[in-house]
Amino acid sequence: RSYMELRDYEQSDSYYTLEAPNLAERTLSEQFMYCNNRGNLYYYWKKYANALPWFKQARSLVEKGPYVFQKHLCGLNLADTYLHLNQLDSALHYLNQGEVFFSTIDNKSVRYYNLAIRAGIALKQGDLPLARTYFEQTASTSGIDNDLVLIRNDFFEAYCIAVGDYKNAYLTLSHDGIINDSLRNDLAHKRAATYDLHYKMDTSLLQ
């Protein structure tokens, strides 16, 4: 997961592959985190077909028992992945499954993510007025994780182009550039910390 956050997808994938044979020996919580995080790896790597089975496996682990939040969170990930695979009925299926539960909890990020996915679906269905409604409801990004903002803005940029609003398409792209610059700066610090950790480990081994 650390390498995924550093956007070093190949290195991240190599460690997930290395751990895969031991997965059955792990606790339910560890198995869930492994599957969901591996799904996230492929999602951010834009390998959506690879992400799908891992999100499905993560959801199957928490399908029964007192894991309602985790179950429906996986549903959001599945909906987003199906959206990128242009399987809109499946995306809506998972969104609608979690609608009642998410309406009972106060989670700003979950609501934002839900509306962003719905905006993307409406856009792909050609329902531009509905897409606009969802984009207006997600205009405020206060307290929202940058990765979720970037997901929403990808759809919003496409919407702006579809309606000929090239000014806002440009402004959104520029704003995303600022976010990415900030993320890259953060990633640079994390990468430096990673190198420092490796150096200290190597030094300890030599001693």
What does the pLDDT look like over 54-104, one tens digit per residue?
999 999 999 988 899 999 999 999 999 999 999 999 999 999 998 888 888
What would the pLDDT profile of 124-140 be if each residue is shown by its tens digit? 999 999 999 998 999 88
**Count of C-beta atoms within a 10 Å radius of residue 4:** 21
Q: Which of 113, 92, 123 is nearest to 43 (CA)?
A: 113
Q: Please provide residue 156's backbone torsions phi and psi, each rounded to the nearest 5 degrees.
A: -65, -40
Determine contact, residues 76/110, Cβ cutoff 8 Å.
Answer: yes
Q: Are 35 and 51 in contact (CB under 8 A)?
A: no
Enumerate helices (H) and strands (E) in the chain, giving the number of each. 10, 0
Quick check: pTM over 0.85? no
| d(C-alpha 179, C-alpha 185), whole Å | 10
